[in-house]
Amino acid sequence: MNPPVRVLYLAGSGRSGSTLVTTVLGQYDGVFAAGELRYLWQRGEVENRPCGCGRPLRDCPLWRAVTQELPVERAATIAAGLRGRLRMRGLPALLRRHRRGIRPVPAHPDDAALADLYAAVARHTGARVVVDSSKLPPYGALVGALPGIDLRVLHLVRDPRATAFSWRRRRGLDGDTDPELMSRPPVWKAALLWLVWNTVTVRLWGDRAPGGYLRVRYEDLTADPEPTLRRIAAFAGVDPDGGPFTGPATVRLTPTHSVAGNPSRHRTGPVPITADVQWRRDLSRWSYALVTALTAAGLRRFGYPWRRGGPGPAGAERSAGDGRPAQGGPAAAGGRPVGVGRSGPARHEEG
Ligand SMILES: [Zn+2]
C-alpha cells in the first residue's frame, strides 16, 4: 500500500494570507502548492478557470495528467455534492459528531474520487507535502477522514477588522480584468464568518498541537516573514532551508499550479512580503465598532486589541503549537504598521 499523502491544510477565515503562504510554500523542495482543492471540480473542471501557471485548467499539463485518473465527467455532480455536505447549517451536527469521536462529515460515495485526487496529485508531482488552501473547516474535516491522508492543519488568523475591510474590496476572481467578482459579504457577515470559521478550526484541531496543528497570525507572518515560514515548513515536515527567501522579507516566486485562490497567486519574480494595513486608515468607525462587537470573543482568544491602536486583551492564546510567544504580541496587531506598502506593488491583500 502507498504511504499516506501528507496534506498541509490551511484552515480559517478568508482573506487571512493563505494565498501568500501557499505560493511561498510551493517554492520549497518537495512541496506542491495545490491551492483551494475543494474548487477543483467546479472552478477548475467545469468552468475551466486559470491554473496558477496561467493556462486554463484543462490545458495545464499537470492537471490534465491528474484529472485523467479522476471521474471528471461527474465534476459538476461532485461539486454540487460537496456544497450540500459542507453547508453552514450542518455545523452543529458536525461539531457534535467530532465531540463524540466519530467522523465529522459522514461518508459519501464521492469520497473515493476525493481520495483519488490527493493520491494522484502526490503521484504526479512527486511532492512529499500537498498544500491545500481550501480554508473551510468542514472540508478540512472531510479530507482528514479520507483514507490515505495524513492531515496537518495550519490555522491562519488575521485581525477581523482587516479581513472585513478586505472582503469589501471589489476584485475580479482571477484578476482585475475578470468580470466575475470575488464575493463581497457585508461587514457584519464577514465578522460573523470570521468568528465561526476560526472558532470551528480551534474546536476541530486545536487540541492536536504541536504536531498536528499550528496557529499563525497574519500580523506575525508579515512582521517576521522568513522565521515564520521556517516554522511553518518545519511543521509541515519539509526542509526549512530550501525556501525562496532572498532576504528576510523578500521571496523569489516561480509559477505554481494552484487551483483557485486570490488573484495574487499569479505573481512571479522577486516579491517583498509586507503587511497590508490600508484598513487601519480606511475602515469606517462604524464598521470597526460593528466588527469589534461581533468578534469580541475571538479578539480575546487570538490576541487582537479592541480599540484601534490599543493594547490587546490580557491572557490571549497566541501561536498555539509553535511553543513560543507570537512575535510582537498583541501590540503588533494594533500598534505601528510593519513594513507598510500602502500603494506599491509589494502589498499583500490575501485570500
Ligand atoms: Zn498549471
Q: How far is the CA of 244 from the centre of ligand 1 (A)?
A: 19
Q: What is the pLDDT of residues 220-257, one digit of tens each?
A: 999 999 999 999 999 999 999 989 999 999 999 999 99
Rg (CA), the chain: 19
Average pLDDT estimate for 148-153:
97
Q: How far is the CA of 230 from the centre of ligand 1 (A)?
A: 26
Confidence of residue 175 (pLDDT cuts 50, 70, 90): low
Confidence of residue 62 (pLDDT cuts 50, 70, 90): very high
Confidence at residue 178, expressed as pLDDT on a 0 to 100 scale: 67
Integer angstrom CA distances of residue 22 from 31, 165, 298: 10, 22, 24
Q: How far is the CA of 61 from the centre of ligand 1 (A)?
A: 7
Which is more confident, 292 or 348?
Answer: 292
Average pLDDT estimate for 184-192:
90
Tell me if residue 183 falls in helix, strand or coil.
coil
Average pLDDT estimate for 145-154:
97
Q: How far is the CA of 35 from the centre of ligand 1 (A)?
A: 11
Q: How far is the CA of 265 from the centre of ligand 1 (A)?
A: 12
Confidence of residue 23 (pLDDT cuts 50, 70, 90): very high
DSSP string, 24-51: HHTTSTTEEEEE-GGGIIIIIIIT-PBB
Which is more confident, 323 or 25?
Answer: 25
Q: How far apart are CA 14 and CA 230, in angstroms?
A: 23
Confidence at residue 307, expressed as pLDDT on a 0 to 100 scale: 86
Q: How far is the CA of 234 from the centre of ligand 1 (A)?
A: 26
- Alpha helix (H) residue ranges in the chain: 18-25, 61-67, 75-85, 91-99, 111-125, 137-144, 160-168, 187-205, 218-223, 225-236, 278-282, 285-294, 296-302, 329-334
Q: How far apart are CA 212 and CA 231, in angstroms?
A: 13
Q: How far is the CA of 40 from the centre of ligand 1 (A)?
A: 12
pTM score, two decimals?
0.87
Q: How far is the CA of 36 from the centre of ligand 1 (A)?
A: 13
Q: Which residues contact 35 (CB under 8 A, 6 or more apart)?
A: 22, 52, 132, 133, 256, 257, 258, 259, 260, 261, 265
Q: How far is the CA of 13 from the centre of ligand 1 (A)?
A: 25
Q: How far is the CA of 34 from the centre of ligand 1 (A)?
A: 10
| Grid cell for residue 144 | 482528514
Q: How far is the CA of 259 from the centre of ligand 1 (A)?
A: 8
Q: What is the pLDDT of residues 299-324, one digit of tens each?
A: 999 999 998 876 544 434 444 443 33
Q: How far is the CA of 12 from the centre of ligand 1 (A)?
A: 25
Q: What is the pLDDT of residues 155-172, one digit of tens each?
A: 999 999 999 998 877 666
Q: How far is the CA of 255 from the centre of ligand 1 (A)?
A: 8
Q: What is the pLDDT of residues 65-87, one digit of tens each?
A: 999 999 999 999 999 999 999 99
Q: How far is the CA of 96 from the centre of ligand 1 (A)?
A: 39
Which is more confident, 320 or 211?
Answer: 211
For residue 350, pLDDT beyond 60 = no
Average pLDDT estimate for 141-150:
97
77-101 b/e (C-beta count within 10 Å ≥ 16 → b):
ebbebbeebbeeebbeebbebbeee
